[in-house]
Structure 1
Amino acid sequence: MSDPRVGLTVTHRRYVPYGHAHYAGNLVDGAYVLAMFGDVATEVCIRTDGDEGLFASYSDVQFRAPVRAGDVLEATATVTRVGNRSRTLDFEARVVCRGRPDKGESAAEVLDEPIVAVTATGTVVVPPPRG
């Protein structure tokens, strides 16, 4: 019998402020997205186990497309495995809106097709059940 927590998905959205751009072209470092993954993983742990849990490791991280200041990012975590105290999560960060400086200083658009910017697999741990 499969654990009912497998398949649980949590999504957060966040605007990427220009203060986070560190590189030419208003590029944002990969750590910004990994921090979002940490936040969405915390909500997964709260929903599955009533505890914030701790991030233990990443087994894979793939930076697939740039993230820029002015983007709106959507980060999703899906539970793929439930152990005694560990949970394996698949992550995906998508750019759903993007600034358009070519059209004006504050111009932006909703993307017809989100851009998959980062994917990852990670493990979180939660305390043993109290009882």
Structure 2
Amino acid sequence: MKVVHQRYVAHSEAHYGGNLVDGAFGLKLFGDAGTHLAISIDGHESLFAGYASVEFLAPVRGGDVVEAEARLASKGTRSRTVDFELRIICRALDDTGRAEVLAEPIVATRARGTAVVPRGRDDGTV
């Protein structure tokens, strides 16, 4: 099972030279997608325990359009291992609003994390 969220990255999100957005921006999107996945699977938002790995592979810039995917990798009694991927699907060409849809998405960030369903919520009921 997986969920995908798409989002425009406002120029105001850029904090660094070259119109770069910090890596925490993608991790926040992973949190949103992971919560959506948990609700879809367990009927509960779950609690995020932490990341086992995070890889920053390409820069995200203000004006880009990204998609954050959360995919269930494994399911324990109460724990859920989730693989995340942030892809750039439209790239800003400059700061005038010009952009292009990419023929192939650029993978910007990959991560793996663990979410936990609170005790009493692991049967899928709310």
TM-score normalised by structure 2 residue count:
0.93
2:102 pairs, out of 80, 98, 111, with 111
Separation in 1, partners of 2:47, 2:31: 9
Separation in 2, partners of 1:116, 1:59: 19
SS at 1:80's partner residue?
strand
Q: Which runs of 5+ in 2 are unaligned?
A: none
Tell me by how many angstroms 1:129 deviates: 3.6
Structure 1 segment 1-131 matched on structure 2, within 5 A = 8-101=1-94, 105-129=96-120
Tell me by how many angstroms 1:127 deviates: 1.7
SS at 2:60's partner residue?
coil
The one-character-per-residue Cα deviations of 1:82-101 (angstroms, maximum 9, x if unpaired) are 01111000110000001111
Separation in 2, partners of 1:17, 1:106: 10
Separation in 2, partners of 1:108, 1:32: 20
Q: Which runs of 5+ in 1 are unaligned?
A: 1-7
Identity %: 55
Separation in 2, partners of 1:57, 1:109: 35
**Structure 1 consecutive aligned stretches of length 4 or more whose deviation exceeds 3 Å:** none
Query: Alignment RMSD, CA only?
Result: 1.2
TM-score normalised by structure 1 residue count:
0.90
